Amino acid sequence: MLLNLISDPGQFIAFITALLVAITIHEFSHAWIANALGDPTAKREGRLTMNPIAHLDLMGTIFMLLVGFGWGKPVPINVNNLKNPKIDEIKISLAGPFSNLILATILGLIIRFIPLSETTVNFLVIITIINLVLMTFNLLPIPPLDGSHLLKIFISQEAYLAFERLGIFILLVVVVMSNFFPVIQTTISFVVNLFFNLVVGQTIQY
């Protein structure tokens, strides 16, 4: 994927811009909801910002460039500051993917109903796709991804912490194995195509 982007400078710039927008919106939403629910930890650590540099995770960005899906730097949370820790933590976790869905929906409606130049439409399509990719991938129930926090409803805190310690290794295995069993790619492609059919009224291949 990276080689394809480098061979087309315009596409590369569009992809990087879209990536920065999607990750920044995603992580900012985590921090904003956490602060609104009573936990200022992310705010104190400079994460309640629209500056993309504060939210980039080196490995997550590399994976996005190399294989087309990745993640941002996890937002720190202190559950002791939350009134309803279990429910509030899930709200915070889902805020990131939900923000990507909202942005993708807005852009999708713009693409569908507002006459724009082909260059502008192509750029908006890239941003929309990246947001959907980030949303879908981060909903996987593997730490440090957002979907893993949903497991806390079903398993004990001790079991989750043990799983969390192995999370990054499990995630790497899943990503590597996806080259042989493209379940993630198939899922993301399904979500992107479903979204474009419903909102944009078009079929697009990702």
User: Which position among 27, 45, 118, 164 bears the catalytic label?
Assistant: 27
DSSP conformation letters of the chain: -HHHHHT-HHHHHHHHHHHHHHHHHHHHHHHHHHHHTT--HHHHTT-SSS-GGGT--HHHHHHHHHHS----PPPP--GGG-SSHHHHHHHHHHHHHHHHHHHHHHHHHHHHHS---HHHHHHHHHHHHHHHHHHHHHTSSSTTSGGGGGGGGTS-HHHHHHHHHHHHHHHHHHHHHTTTS-HHHHHHHHHHHHHIIIIIS-----
Is position 164 annotated as part of the catalytic site?
no
Active site residues: 27
